[in-house]
């Protein structure tokens, strides 16, 4: 369902990431989701920075796994349209005392490292 769109990875490419975490009743771990540039669900307490780092590394290595949201998260009762709405609300500053939804948007740029390999840096706006 949420296979990554073709993203050309080369020096100067900028990619915007939308991530959402929430802790609704989860005692130890908590779910999180990448909503942009494609959908990928995590159940293992990944924070925003780790999601972005993992995906950037996968994109540079050309090793991005497609996600099937319905299979990976839908069975838990999570609805993608609801999570997208919670993302937008949280990004605008709404707080969620029970579920603790927390949204982040960050843009990363592919750069050439000193050793010649591709890496990334955050685009400060």
Strand 102-112 versus strand 40-42 pairing type? unpaired
The domains of the chain are located at 14-116
The model's pLDDT over 55-111, given as tens digits with 9 standing for 90+, comes to 999 999 988 876 777 777 766 778 889 999 999 999 999 998 888 899 999 999 999
Which residues, 6+ apart, have CB-to-CB distance to 21 below 8 Å? 30, 31, 32, 46, 47, 48, 100, 101, 102
Output the pLDDT for position 64.
Answer: 81
Sign of CA dihedral 102, 25, 73, 49: positive
Per-residue pLDDT at 26 exceeds 60? yes
- pLDDT at position 93: 95
Average of pLDDT values for 8-34? Answer: 87
pLDDT for 3:
44
């Amino acid at each position: 369902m949420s296979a990554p769109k073709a993203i050309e990875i080369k020096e100067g490419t900028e990619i915007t990431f939308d991530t959402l975490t929430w802790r609704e009743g989860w005692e130890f771990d908590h779910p999180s989701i990448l909503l942009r540039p494609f959908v990928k669900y995590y159940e293992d307490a990944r924070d925003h920075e780790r999601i972005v780092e993992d995906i950037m590394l996968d994109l540079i290595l050309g090793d991005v796994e497609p996600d099937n949201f319905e299979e990976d998260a839908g069975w838990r009762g999570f609805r993608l349209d609801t999570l997208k709405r919670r993302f937008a609300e949280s990004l605008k500053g709404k707080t969620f005392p029970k579920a603790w939804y927390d949204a982040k948007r960050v843009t990363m740029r592919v750069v050439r490292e000193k050793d010649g390999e591709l890496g990334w840096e955050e685009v400060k706006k």
